[in-house]
Every structure is written in structure tokens, then in C-alpha cells.
């Protein structure tokens, strides 16, 4: 069975994409809880010009708003000086210097004038000033600033900033340049091109960009740096899909990430030669070796001569990802602080400094002689040459032979490096190995299949497609509006184009709808100083750098044919007469005119319109024309950002309106409204319009949809409109609705008195409850129950999920320290009234039972017992006997073992026994659900099921009225029981947790229809069934893997379900365990640690007992009914 399942999974899943999904989880965790999961202190992008830097700043702020970057992270886009090309190495130094300059300005602005005293009061005043005047990101930097060193007159602010930067985690992303091979990405920047991998995980979120995925991958690198600061450099046109969190980085050195490739590929890339001196990390089976040499596009002979060919016949590819730590990081910061003079020299001599050739060569002694002949080579050696460069091979040594190269990407057993160097490669990456993970329709409006022809393989993102439009196979349409019968061919790319049908326009466009042939690109760009936008187009495989003399093409045809067919003369396109300098990049071929005329001329230039040739040529010659090069320098980035924001806001508004007007509120309107608010002019008014529309929806659909969902939508819309106070008041209606819906589901078919128990006193019902006899027995009842530990499936049992969707939980009843830890004892007494006491020495006497009514005060220690008296109907009797009740729970408070619900089950079961009522586990569990709603604690059904039913069981729930539960006991073999009891450690962390704090956040996200949360809970329920099968097969190791995934999913639901203490506990236990998790909702309480074998369990227990964590390891065993003594005793008199 296992092998069949693995085979099936291997056909369907891409290891690289699953790694990417894991890193996205890590990114979300770090953004939502950066104090627990470290995130970048600063993210810096290089840009080609100040204008492009402005665009990048806008994209970075958008990424923060959309939850891609933590609010505590400093972001900065740094242009090359004067827009001149200085090379990636000089750009690295320039970017670090720019970041240091900004941080220095922040420090000087807020620490000057120097306070006269460093007293506590002065520091508090300074702290309040900082909070008021700086961003959250800058405030984090200021807190780490070495303020005490400012008393030294010899210490400058700049040096103190560098001292602080040494401790920072900084991501540097090279994103500058003009992207000649992907020209349609020039306006947005290639690093921000759309890449809808995993888009279906969050269908109402923004379209994922290449940048977003790169940041996700980089989030793992922060973990690899651990507590030491440093720099991680990445490139903007490569997506390295490998688990960066497992990297092994050397101290006080730089490290380049490499991967094995075949020699034919190595001949076209940078290659790293490692020395014989080797550092192996046996724990991860990865290679970490000292770099002996660096080669650029080497021949086979050179690879052989330089000993670059490994034993497997391959060489190490330089991936462009570099880490710098310790002394190497200090040296790099020091040289960057004085790099302004170095950069001025480069500009003066019109030279460039490459990161991957010159700068890293300073860390490789064998390259020093060569480097001395390069610009500023001596300065680099003097500044950086004392440290060394290592190679970290990201491909497992044991699987190195599995790697292949396919369409611009290197694929290996668990990694993939995707290169976005050409337009064709972009489409290839959407259509081949990872196609299962590509969202082909995301935040778009498309017509019915009966009025349009849109290929199923086409990728439509943030676009509106009207009726009459056709789009061919494997095409990409992004950020566009297409109407008027537009026809887009196969393998085309359309970006930022807005073609609307213009009624009454007699242009040529009305006669012949615009057509883009197969394998073409089309994009639209606003220009500075012009009211019209320019339409740009070219062939998918055109290389704008290829000259007329070197087989250069335009729209897939040689320039010679283009000129012959169109009648255009070379001097009308190029100022130079040299065919070596004439290319698409500098050809002034694109007219700037009204849209319909530009489209007509575009079809003419592409050879699709031979009519009116002379008229077309004349119109083209009269027009103002630009080249790709001119366009790149003249982009109106401000207008580009505004147009994109407004377009995406309109798309989101259309989807949201349809969801409210025609649908059943199935979309995440909170996320959609975040997109709508990008339109600064109409965003708020649109959200208010939707709020009013939602009120009408409530009147029409209240019987179809749960009121809790409708109220939550109204709360979200009010918050988006600025009505925070009104929204807070309405949140009460949300939770009241959840309670009412739960009560309606679990009380269906029960006694009438339960239907009113939420609002009336105990004596408000009429008649005697059918579950009681006319005379009460004089008796004494004692109920003792085990606690439960849950392996997986929690949250799928919790209302409102369990009221609307199926759930499944795998849990187990256990004894602690050889005893049943939870119980209740009750005895009827001749005198009236009810005595209640607990194991915390609390006690109360209730003389008038009519005073027992809901709602109960949150601080009432006896609200559980009072609720049990109500839901069982005990106090609704015409004659209420005297009763003494004692309860206990011999487990720590906030244990996560389901203690509260199991104690409620004990009390309910005991009362039903006294009343001679239905004391079956099924009825008891159902009444406990009612009881928890009466108490206002929420919660699901798994706790009472876990305590009432013995052993290991997999329980499924099915929504309806009543809510249906199906408990499936697992027939555990003696071997399985022995193995579990030997390998599983039940550990109390000492961290008190309150489930309702986590519960409220998770339920709110569910009511908002958060897709990530919904998919996580679905997976938890699915894992419960897989875990059941694993245990039935005796596969305890598989159970460990399931526990790990369940723990990851719990943190996806709420990152605050854990804390640094728990993280440290799991980190300590990790090398001994195959699985671990907190029980219940998390946040503290008990942890389950599943050891790799019984020896590891013994060793782990010893480690925990001598550690300074202060945890307690409990003795436990599975509770099987009857094997450990009766848990239910009664005495009748």
C-alpha cells in the first residue's frame, strides 16, 4: 500500500514545488510572527535608474501591504549612479553604502542633539520620540544602535551604523538592467514579472510575482544564518527552488551556492572549482568545500585542465546566490563604506566591476594575479583578500546523478533552478515540469465558453476578457483588458494592454479586429511628456541585441525581409549606417499614436495587413516613433503604477460585486477589498457600496447562508471603509451567530428545555424532562476518565467548520502516572440545594436552583458544572433533590489534553446516571457540545470523544442537523501498543495555553473564507485518515511524518500556537525524533515527542530531565476500557 501511494504521489508532485510551498509557509510565518521566526532586517534591490528605483520602491511597499515582507523590514531600492552601468560588483558596494547612508541619517536625525543624560528617564523620552517619528522598520534598527558608544568623540555615527549592520540580516537582490531578452518585462522590472506558481493556494490574494517567490526562498536563508548577521545575495532572473533553511554556511567567510551540471551546460555558465580540502556536514549529506578557482564559460579542455570535472563527470554551476558572514561580512561593509571613490573611478573610465568575476575573485587566492589586472582589482584584494570563499553544493551527494537540464532550468532530486533569461523561458516554466502548480486563472474576469474561445492552457492573470475574444494555447495575458474581438495566438505574451471596443470609431480596427500572431509579445507603456501610450510588440524569440548583420529579427523575420515588405528604409530606423550596430533594441520602429491607429500599424508591420500599404507606410512615417532603448528611458513609472493599481482594483471590485450579488459569499472579500483600496479615488466608496449591497443580501439569503458568514463580511467591509467602531460592535453578532448555529446543530431532536437554556433560568421550562424518572435514586456516582492526546485532525472538529464541512480526528485516550486523571463524584443528599467543590478548594452552595441560568460570568469557577446541570435537565425538574458534586483534574492548567471538555463529560455522564437518563457516550458527547456553547468557550467534539471512547480511534463528523459523529476504534496490536508506549514521550512544557485565544483568530479567518486556512484544515482531516492507515499497518515512523506536517499546518493556521520556548524544545529534541507537535490548539501545554526508536526515547528523556528547560516527562499508557479498572462506579441506597 505504501509503495503504491508513493508511486502515485511521485507522478503528481514536483519536489521543487513542494519545497517552494514549504518556503512560502516559512515566509508567512516570519511575516506574521517575526519575533519568533527571524525575517530580513533589510531587503535592498539594485535598479538601473532613479525612475526604476521609484517603481521598485512602489513594488516593495505593495509587497509589505500584501504580506510578502514584514513591516519590521527596512526596504530600499538603489539606482546605479547617474543611471550608468557599473556592473553587479560595484552595484553591490553601492547598495550597501546607500543602506548605510540611510541608516546613518535615521540615527543622526533621532540621536542628535545628544541627550544631556543617559538616565532611564532620558532613554524613555528618546524611546517615545523614536516611536513617533520613525517607521516600525527603522525603529527596530534604532533599538539595536550602540547608543553608549556615542559618548566617545572619536567614534563617528557612520562607524556605529556599520557596527550595527554587522549584526543585521540583509537580502540584496540584483534587479537592475534593461532586460533586453525579456523586453516586455522592462517597464515592471524582470524581477516583478508574474509567476503564478501556487496561486491556487490563495485564489483571492494578489498574483504571485517572481519577486515574491524569490523572497519566499530567501526566507529559509535567514534561518541558515541563525543568530549571526550577514548578507545574502540573489539575482532577479533566477528562482532557486531548494530548501535554503538547510544550508550549511561557513563562519567568517563567503559562500557561493552551487549545483552539479553536465559539461555542455557548464560551457555556457560560470563554473566553480573546489579544492581537495573538504568540509563535509554529515548531518545533511551536503558538500561544503573551499573554492580553488572560478571559470567563466569554460571549454571542455579548460574544465579538464582546471580539475573542475567531478567524479560523476559533471561540474559545479555558479547559481548566483552568495552568502557573506562574520569577518568577511565586516570586510565587505568596510570597503563598501568608502566605495564612492571606487565607483567614481569606474564611471570616469567607463568600466564595470562584476560581482561574479571580479568581486568574489578577491576571496580566491588563485585569482589574485588575474584580478590585479582588472579595474580596482588591487583595492578589492587589499580590502577582502584575507577571507576565503566556500562552495555549498545544494544538491544531495547521494542523488547527484539524478539531475537533468530542461528548458532553462536545472532540475535535480529536490531542487530546481529556473532561469528567466528569455521570453520563451518564461512560457516554458509555465508549461512543463511544474504545470500542475500553475494558476491559469487568477483574479480575472472571463466570458462564457459560448461567447469566447480561450484555451484551457492559457494563463490569464489580473485581466478582463470580454465576449468575442480568443486566446490560443499556452499564452500569458497579464494586467490587461481585451475586447472588440481581439485574437491572441498561441504562445503569446500580452502585458498591460487595454484594448476596448470604441463605438462610433471608423478606424481600420473596426473592419479587422486586432490579431496577434502565434509566438509574439505585446505590451503597452505610458511615456513621460505624452498623453498617448505606446504599443510595443515583437516576436517571442527575437533577440533585441542581435544586429542586422548577425541574423537579427523582428516579429520572427529577418530585418532584410521586414524592410523589403514594408518599404521602410534603414535610415528611418537607425542613425548608424553600420549593420553591426543596427538591432531591434535601437530601431525607432514603434509609432506613438491613438490606440486604434497603433494597432492597425502593428498588424501591418507584423505582415497581417497588406491592404492600404501606401497609406500605412505614410501614416507610419508621419508618426512620432520610439525604439525599445528610448522607451526604456522614457517610461512614466508613476503613471504605470497608478494604471496597474486602478486596473487590479477594478478587477477585484468586479469579482467582489458578483460574489455578493450573484453568489454565496464564497470568496475572501477581505483580501479582495485590500486590492480594491489600491484605487485611491473610488476604493472606499466601492467598499461602502458593497456593504449596503450585503445588507440587502442578508434579507434574501439568510436561510441559505450561515448568519455568521454574512455578519463577518459586513465586519470586514466596515473595517475597509474606516468604520472600525461599528465593526467592533458587529463582531459580537458574529460570535452570537456561531453559538446559535452550533446549538441548532447539536441540540436538534433533544428536549425542548435545551432550546431555551441559553437565555432563561432553570425553572422556565414546563414539565419534566423525558430523560428523568418521576423519582430520583438516592445514590452516589463516581466517574473517572482518561485524557486525550491528538495526533492529527484538530480544528476540523471545531464549529463553524464542523457545521459546514466534514472533519476527521485521530486521537488516543491515555492514563497519566497510572491513573485516570479527570473525574467527578456526586451524591444525592436529603437536604435541598446543590453543593459544588473542586480540587482547587473552590466551593459554593446553591440553595435556589432557579438562580442557575446562562450566560455565566467568565470568572465563575463553577460555570462548567452549572452548565451541565442545565443541559442534562437536572434542575428543570419539578422536584430537585439535594446534590453534592466534587470535581478534579490531576493535570496542569492549560494542558491541551482536552481536560475541560473531558471533565464536562464526566459531570454530564454522572448526572445522567443519577437521573437514569441516556448515559451513552454518543449522547454524552453531544450534550457536552451544547454545554460548551452555553459556557461560551466554543471548541469542538474531539476532546470529549477522546476521553469517553477508549484506546486509539479515528472519528469522522458530518455536517447536518443533528451533527453526526462516527467513531472508528483502531484495533491496535500488542506490538503497536508496546512500540508507541516506548517511543512516544508525553511532555509538559510548563507553558500555560488558552485555547480560546487561538480559537478566535482561526474561526475569524475561516469565516473570512481564507483559502490558506481552509486548505490547511482540509489537509489536517486528510492526514487523520492517512495516520489511521499508517497505525493499522504498524508504521509508527509514518505517524511521525504526519505529526510534523500537522504541526506545520497548525502554525499556518496561527503562528502564535507556538513560542520561542517550544521552538527551542523541539530543536533540542529534533535529532532524536521522527515527529513532534503540541497537543490541542497549541500555544503551550503538553507536547508529543515521537522518538526514532526506543533507545532514542530513553536518551531523549535523559536529555530533557537534565536540561534547563524545566519540562516534565510524564509516564503514560494507552487507556483501554476495562483493562485499567472501571472508570464508572455507582452505589445505590
- Show the beta-strand stretches assigned E in 237-285: 238-241, 254-261, 270-281
Q: Name the pairing type of β-strands 590-592 and 624-626.
A: antiparallel
The per-residue pLDDT for range 627-641, each reduced to its tens digit, is 999 998 899 999 999
Closest among 482, 476, 423, 479 to 447, alpha carbons compared: 482
Q: For 650-679, what is each residue's pLDDT tens digit?
A: 999 999 999 988 878 899 999 999 999 999
Ranking 100-104, 198-202, 781-785 by mean pLDDT, the lowest is 100-104
Question: Cα separation of 384 and 712, whole Å?
Answer: 58
For the chain, the farthest-separated pair of C-alpha atoms sits apart, in whole angstroms, at: 116
Please spell the DSSP secondary structure of 657-680, one letter per residue. HHHHHTS-S-S-HHHHHHHHTTST
**pTM of the prediction?**
0.89
DSSP 880: P
Round to whole Å and give the CA distance between 944 and 387: 62
How far apart, in Å, are the Cα atoms of 862 and each of 236, 620, 893, 898, 938?
A: 61, 87, 15, 17, 17
Lowest-confidence region among 10-19, 1025-1034, 1087-1096: 10-19
**pLDDT over 50 (residue 2):** no
Would you say 925 and 944 are in contact if contact means Cβ atoms under 8 Å apart?
yes
Asked, as a colleague might, if the bond just before 469 is cis with ω within 30 of 0, I would say no
* φ, ψ (nearest 5 deg) of residue 291: -80, 130
Between 56 and 269, name the one with better pLDDT: 56
Q: What percent of the chain has pLDDT over 90?
A: 64
- Which residue stretches of 112-238 are H helix? 120-133, 136-143, 157-165, 210-225
User: What would the pLDDT profile of 348-385 be if each residue is shown by its tens digit?
Assistant: 999 999 999 999 999 999 999 999 999 999 999 999 99
Q: Residue 539: its pLDDT value, please?
A: 97
Lowest mean pLDDT among 162-176, 498-512, 607-621, 1010-1024: 498-512
Per-residue pLDDT tens digits for 867-881: 999 988 888 766 677
Cα-based torsion angle of the residue sequence 353, 357, 362, 363 in order, rounded to the nearest 10 degrees: 140
In DSSP terms, 75 is beta-bridged to 43
3-state secondary structure string across 52-78? HHHHHHHHHHHHHHCCCCCCCCEEEEE
Paired strand residues for 482: 465, 499
pLDDT per residue as tens digits for the range 77-98: 999 998 788 999 999 999 999 9
User: Are 75 and 64 spatial neighbours (Cβ–Cβ below 8 Å)?
Assistant: yes
SS3 state of residue 391: strand
Cell numbers standing for residue 65: 501591504
**Spatial separation of the C-alpha atoms in residues 709 and 715, rounded to whole Å:** 10
Residue 750 has pLDDT above 70, yes or no: no
Confidence class of residue 936 from pLDDT cuts 50, 70 and 90?
Answer: confident
Coil vs helix vs strand at 623: coil
Tell me the pLDDT of the chain averaged across its residues: 86
Closest Cα partner for 227 from 1078, 1060, 1100, 1107? 1060
Helix residue spans in 607-723 (DSSP H): 613-622, 628-634, 637-661, 669-676, 683-701, 707-720
Q: How do residues 376-391 score in pLDDT, each as one tens digit? A: 999 999 999 999 999 9
Return the closest-CA partner of residue 166 out of 283, 410, 336, 281.
Answer: 336
- Where is pLDDT greater, at 919 or 134? 919
Residue 160: pLDDT band with limits 50, 70, 90: confident
Please name the residue that has the C-alpha cell 437536604: 831
pLDDT reading at 131 higher than 50:
no
Provide the strand spans (E) within 340-426.
389-393, 404-406, 409-411, 416-419
Mention every residue, 6+ apart, whose C-beta is less than 8 A from residue 725.
none
pLDDT in tens, 534-555: 999 999 999 999 999 888 999 9
Rounded CA gap, 358 and 356, in Å?
A: 6
d(CA 817, CA 988): 13
DSSP codes, 440-474: SEES-B---TTS-EE-TT-EEES-EE-TT-EE-TT
Burial of 760 (0-12, 13-18, 19+ CB in 10 A): middle
C-alpha cell at 220: 529559509
Phi, psi of 242 (to 5 degrees): -140, 160
In the chain, the percentage of residues whose pLDDT exceeds 70 is 86
| Phi-psi domain of 367 (left: phi exceeds 0; alpha: psi -120 through 50; beta: other) | alpha
The pLDDT score that the predictor gives to residue 546 is 93
| Closest C-alpha among 244, 235, 241 to residue 269 | 235
pLDDT of residue 1099: 97
At residue 130 the predicted structure's pLDDT band, cuts being 50, 70 and 90, is: very low
| 338 φ, ψ (degrees, to nearest 5) | -115, 25
Q: Among residues 735, 681, 666, which one has the least CA distance to residue 707?
A: 735
pLDDT at 916: 86
| Torsion angle defined by CA atoms of residues 242, 245, 249 and 252, in that order, rounded to the nearest 10 degrees | 130
pLDDT of residue 137: 63
SS3 475: coil
Amino acid at each position: 500500500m505504501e509503495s503504491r501511494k508513493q508511486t502515485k504521489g511521485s507522478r503528481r508532485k514536483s519536489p521543487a514545488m513542494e519545497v517552494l510551498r514549504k518556503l512560502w509557509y516559512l515566509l508567512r510565518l516570519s511575516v506574521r510572527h517575526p519575533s519568533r521566526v527571524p525575517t530580513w532586517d533589510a531587503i535592498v534591490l539594485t535598479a538601473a535608474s532613479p525612475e526604476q528605483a521609484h517603481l521598485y520602491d512602489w513594488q516593495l511597499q505593495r509587497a509589505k501591504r500584501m504580506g510578502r515582507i514584514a513591516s519590521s523590514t527596512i526596504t530600499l531600492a538603489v539606482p546605479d549612479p547617474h543611471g550608468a552601468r557599473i556592473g553587479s560588483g560595484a552595484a553591490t558596494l553601492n547598495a550597501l553604502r546607500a543602506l548605510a547612508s540611510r541608516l546613518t541619517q535615521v540615527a543622526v536625525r533621532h540621536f542628535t542633539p545628544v541627550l544631556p543624560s543617559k538616565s532611564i528617564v532620558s532613554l524613555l523620552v528618546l524611546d517615545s520620540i523614536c516611536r513617533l517619528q520613525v517607521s516600525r522598520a527603522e525603529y527596530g534598527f534604532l533599538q539595536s544602535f550602540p547608543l553608549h558608544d556615542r559618548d566617545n568623540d572619536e567614534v563617528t555615527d557612520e562607524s556605529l551604523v556599520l557596527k550595527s549592520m554587522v549584526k543585521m540580516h540583509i537580502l540584496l537582490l540584483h534587479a537592475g538592467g534593461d532586460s533586453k531578452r525579456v523586453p516586455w518585462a522592462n517597464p515592471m522590472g524582470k524581477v516583478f514579472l508574474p509567476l503564478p506558481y501556487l496561486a491556487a493556494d490563495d485564489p483571492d490574494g494578489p498574483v504571485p510575482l517572481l519577486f515574491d517567490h524569490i523572497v519566499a526562498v530567501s526566507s529559509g536563508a535567514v534561518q541558515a544564518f541563525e543568530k549571526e548577521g550577514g548578507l545574502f545575495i540573489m539575482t532577479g532572473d533566477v528562482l532557486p527552488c531548494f530548501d535554503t533553511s538547510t544550508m550549511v554556511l561557513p563562519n567568517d567567510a563567503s559562500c557561493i551556492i552551487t549545483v552539479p551540471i553536465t559539461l555542455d551546460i557548464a560551457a555556457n555558465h560560470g563554473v566553480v572549482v573546489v579544492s581537495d580540502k573538504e568540509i563535509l556536514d554529515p548531518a545533511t549529506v551536503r558538500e561544503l568545500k573551499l573554492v580553488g578557482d572560478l571559470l567563466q564559460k569554460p571549454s571542455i579542455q579548460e574544465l579538464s585542465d582546471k580539475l573542475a570535472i567531478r567524479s560523476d563527470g559533471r561540474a559545479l554551476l555558479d547559481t548566483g546566490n552568495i552568502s557573506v558572514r562574520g569577518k568577511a561580512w565586516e570586510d565587505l561593509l568596510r570597503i563598501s563604506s568608502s566605495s564612492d571613490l571606487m565607483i567614481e573611478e569606474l564611471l570616469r573610465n567607463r568600466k564595470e566591476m562584476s560581482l561574479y568575476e571580479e568581486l568574489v575573485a578577491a576571496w580566491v587566492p588563485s585569482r589574485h594575479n588575474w584580478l590585479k589586472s582588472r579595474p580596482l582589482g588591487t583595492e578589492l584584494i587589499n580590502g577582502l583578500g584575507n577571507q576565503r570563499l566556500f562552495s555549498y553544493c545544494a544538491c544531495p551527494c547521494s542523488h547527484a546523478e539524478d539531475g537533468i537540464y530542461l528548458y532553462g532550468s536545472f532540475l535535480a532530486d529536490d531542487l530546481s533552478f529556473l532561469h528567466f533569461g528569455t521570453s520563451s523561458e518564461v512560457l516554458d516554466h509555465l508549461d512543463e515540469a511544474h504545470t500542475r502548480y500553475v494558476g491559469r486563472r487568477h483574479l480575472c474576469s472571463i466570458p462564457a465558453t459560448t461567447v469566447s474561445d480561450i484555451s484551457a492552457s492559457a494563463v490569464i492573470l489580473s485581466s478582463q476578457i470580454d465576449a468575442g475574444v480568443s486566446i490560443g494555447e499556452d499564452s500569458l495575458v497579464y494586467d490587461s483588458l481585451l475586447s472588440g474581438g481581439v485574437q491572441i495566438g498561441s504562445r503569446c505574451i500580452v502585458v498591460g494592454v487595454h484594448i476596448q471596443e470604441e463605438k462610433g470609431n471608423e478606424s481600420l480596427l473596426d473592419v479587422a479586429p486586432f490579431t496577434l500572431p502565434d509566438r509574439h509579445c505585446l505590451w503597452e507603456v505610458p511615456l513621460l511628456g505624452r498623453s498617448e501610450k505606446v504599443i510595443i510588440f515583437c516576436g517571442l524569440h527575437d533577440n533585441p541585441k542581435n544586429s542586422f548583420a548577425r541574423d537579427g529579427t523582428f516579429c520572427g523575420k529577418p530585418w532584410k525581409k521586414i524592410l523589403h515588405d514594408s518599404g521602410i528604409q534603414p535610415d528611418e530606423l537607425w542613425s548608424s549606417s553600420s549593420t553591426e550596430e543596427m538591432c531591434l533594441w535601437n530601431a525607432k520602429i514603434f509609432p506613438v499614436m491613438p490606440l486604434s491607429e497603433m494597432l492597425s500599424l502593428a498588424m501591418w508591420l507584423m505582415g497581417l495587413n497588406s491592404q492600404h500599404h501606401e497609406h500605412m507606410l505614410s501614416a507610419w512615417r508621419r508618426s512620432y516613433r520610439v525604439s525599445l532603448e528610448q522607451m526604456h528611458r522614457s517610461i512614466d513609472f508613476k503613471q504605470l503604477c497608478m494604471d496597474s493599481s486602478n486596473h487590479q482594483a477594478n478587477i477585484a471590485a468586479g469579482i467582489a460585486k458578483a460574489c455578493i450579488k450573484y453568489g454565496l459569499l464564497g470568496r475572501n472579500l477581505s483580501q479582495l477589498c485590500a486590492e480594491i483600496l489600491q484605487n485611491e479615488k473610488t476604493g472606499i466608496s466601492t467598499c461602502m457600496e458593497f456593504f449596503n449591497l450585503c445588507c440587502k443580501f442578508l434579507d434574501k439569503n439568510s436561510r441559505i447562508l450561515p448568519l455568521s458568514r454574512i455578519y463577518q463580511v459586513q465586519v470586514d467591509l466596515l473595517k475597509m471603509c474606516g468604520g472600525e467602531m461599528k465593526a467592533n460592535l458587529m463582531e459580537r453578532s458574529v460570535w452570537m451567530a456561531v453559538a446559535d448555529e452550533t446549538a441548532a446543530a447539536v441540540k436538534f431532536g433533544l428536549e425542548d428545555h435545551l432550546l431555551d437554556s441559553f437565555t432563561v433560568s432553570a425553572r422556565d421550562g414546563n414539565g419534566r424532562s423525558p430523560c428523568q424518572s418521576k423519582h430520583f435514586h438516592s445514590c452516589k456516582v463516581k466517574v473517572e476518565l482518561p485524557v486525550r492526546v491528538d495526533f492529527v485532525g484538530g480544528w476540523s472538529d471545531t464549529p463553524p467548520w464542523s457545521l459546514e464541512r466534514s472533519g476527521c480526528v485521530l486521537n488516543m485516550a491515555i492514563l497519566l502516572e497510572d491513573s485516570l486523571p479527570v473525574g467527578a463524584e456526586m451524591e444525592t443528599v436529603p437536604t435541598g440545594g446543590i453543593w459544588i467543590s473542586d480540587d482547587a478548594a473552590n466551593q459554593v452552595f446553591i440553595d435556589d436552583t432557579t438562580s442557575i441560568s446562562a450566560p455565566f460570568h467568565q470568572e465563575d469557577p463553577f460555570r462548567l458544572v452549572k452548565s451541565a446541570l442545565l443541559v442534562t435537565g437536572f434542575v428543570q425538574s419539578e422536584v430537585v433533590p439535594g446534590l453534592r458534586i466534587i470535581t478534579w483534574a490531576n493535570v496542569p492548567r492549560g494542558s491541551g489534553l482536552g481536560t475541560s471538555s473531558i471533565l464536562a463529560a464526566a459531570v454530564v455522564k454522572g448526572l445522567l446516571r443519577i437521573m437514569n437518563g441516556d448515559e451513552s457516550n454518543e449522547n454524552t458527547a453531544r450534550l457536552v457540545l451544547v454545554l460548551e456553547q452555553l459556557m461560551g468557550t466554543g471548541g469542538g467534539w474531539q476532546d470529549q470523544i477522546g476521553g469517553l471512547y477508549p484506546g486509539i480511534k479515528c472519528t469522522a463528523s458530518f455536517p447536518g442537523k443533528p451533527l453526526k459523529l462516527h467513531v472508528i476504534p483502531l484495533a491496535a496490536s500488542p506490538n503497536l501498543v508496546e512500540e508507541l508506549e516506548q517511543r512516544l514521550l508525553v511532555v509538559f512544557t510548563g507553558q500555560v495555553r488558552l485555547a480560546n485565544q487561538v480559537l478566535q483568530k482561526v474561526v475569524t479567518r475561516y469565516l473570512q473564507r481564507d483559502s490558506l486556512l481552509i486548505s490547511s484544515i482540509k489537509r489536517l482531516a486528510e492526514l487523520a485518515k492517512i495516520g489511521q492507515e499508517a497505525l493499522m499497518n504498524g508504521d509508527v515512523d509514518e505517524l511521525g511524518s504526519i505529526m510534523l506536517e500537522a504541526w506545520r499546518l497548525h502554525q499556518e493556521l496561527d503562528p502564535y500556537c507556538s513560542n520561542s520556548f517550544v521552538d527551542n524544545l523541539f530543536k533540542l529534541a529534533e535529532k532524536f525524533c521522527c515527529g513532534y507537535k503540541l497537543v490541542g490548539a497549541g500555544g503551550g501545554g503538553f507536547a508529543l515527542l515521537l522518538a526514532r526508536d526506543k533507545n532514542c526515547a530513553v536518551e531523549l528523556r535523559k536529555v530533557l530531565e537534565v536540561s534547563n528547560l524545566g519540562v516534565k516527562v510524564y509516564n503514560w499508557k494507552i487507556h483501554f476500557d476495562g483493562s485499567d479498572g472501571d472508570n464508572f462506579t455507582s452505589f445505590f441506597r
